[in-house]
A = this chain, B = another copy of it.
């Protein structure tokens, strides 16, 4: 991930649109702190290719701005991100319209239920609710920390299936379908077929495509203007999600929840 930027400096103002270089650098600093889970000035400046003096100035600035804190010699991302995240969440209509319904779904099924949003071809967990029997906490914890690709989850495929054609092509083109398990779909053509099926049926499944032993069912949530705004899904161990329950019962429950959320979106007005 650290690759990216061209060796700036001497002669690379070829054509790209104008950007604020220092802001990009600051973003990289934040990313390094995230990746390394905090660290000393020396740690961080070694990871970036910048002088300690330079990185020091960046870190001081980020501390001043409240994005980073220092605690006995270690820099780490500040709690401000928690508050900002909460703010973004509460601004998101899908979250406001859907979190209670997802709670109900988790309760009814006893498993993990998720409300998923999409941005830049990645999915973000907007809300998670744990049913009584929910398993794989660690996995879900990681899910929430990083926007995931769309090709190997039920919610992701449900969203991808309903995104406008041009955007779908763009996402599929710019993304490598990393193999997670034997079942992961890594072929673009196969993925397209699956997506057509999903549009047909109205729901998506994830049959141990991301984690061995885990299945999931996901349904898209369409906004008032028929564009997809996100998805709902339930994830459970294969042993508890098979046959009828996997093929009929769970899809019905997930789609029902998605439908309820759609109604909430139509009905409610989420004023500023």
Q: Is A26 interfacial (CB 8 A cutoff)?
A: yes
Stretch at the interface among A59-67, A165-173, A183-191, A257-265: A59-67
Counting chain B CB atoms within 10 Å of each CB, the highest count among A66, A77, A83, A141 belongs to A83
B79→A19 contact, CB < 8 A: no
A168 CB, min distance to chain B CBs, angstroms: 17
Q: Are B37 and A272 in contact (CB under 8 A)?
A: yes
A125 CA to B83 CA in the complex, in Å?
8
Mask of A95-137 contacts with B, CB within 8 angstroms, 1/0 = 0000000000000000000000101100011100000000000
Q: How large is the interface on A (under 10, 10 to 19, 20 to 34, 35 or more residues)?
A: 35 or more
Shortest distance from the beta carbon of A54 to any chain B beta carbon, whole Å: 9
A117 contacts B79, CB within 8 Å?
yes
CB of B79 within 8 A of CB of A81, answer: no
The 8 Å CB contact of A81, one of B22, B25, B60, B81, is: B81
Asked if B126 contacts A20 (CB within 8 A), the reply is: no
A80 at interface (Cβ–Cβ under 8 A)?
A: yes
Does A145 have its Cβ within 8 Å of any Cβ on chain B? yes
Contact B24 A79 (CB under 8 A): no
Complex contact B145–A87 (CB within 8 A): yes
Chain B's closest residue to A28 (CB) is B65
A17 at the B interface (CB under 8 A): yes
**Shortest Cβ distance from residue A47 to the other chain B in the assembled complex, whole angstroms:** 15
Q: Is A268 located at the chain interface by the 8 A CB criterion?
A: no
A81 touches B91 (CB 8 A): no
For residue A92, which residues in chain B have a CB less than 8 angstroms away from its CB? 79
Interface centre among A62, A80, A147 (most CB of B within 10 A): A80
CA of A24 to CA of B66, assembled, Å: 10
Q: Does A179 contact B (CB under 8 A)?
A: no
Name the CB-closest residue of B to A123: B79
What B residues does A125 contact at CB under 8 A? Answer: 82-83, 86
Report the minimum CB–CB distance from A153 to chain B (whole Å).
Answer: 15
Q: What are 18 of the A-B contact pairs (CB < 8 Å)?
A: A19-B61, A20-B26, A20-B58, A27-B65, A69-B120, A76-B91, A77-B84, A77-B88, A78-B88, A79-B88, A79-B119, A81-B88, A83-B144, A84-B84, A85-B85, A86-B125, A87-B145, A90-B145
The 8 closest A-B pairs by CB, nearest first: A85-B85, A79-B124, A27-B65, A22-B22, A82-B85, A86-B144, A87-B145, A81-B84
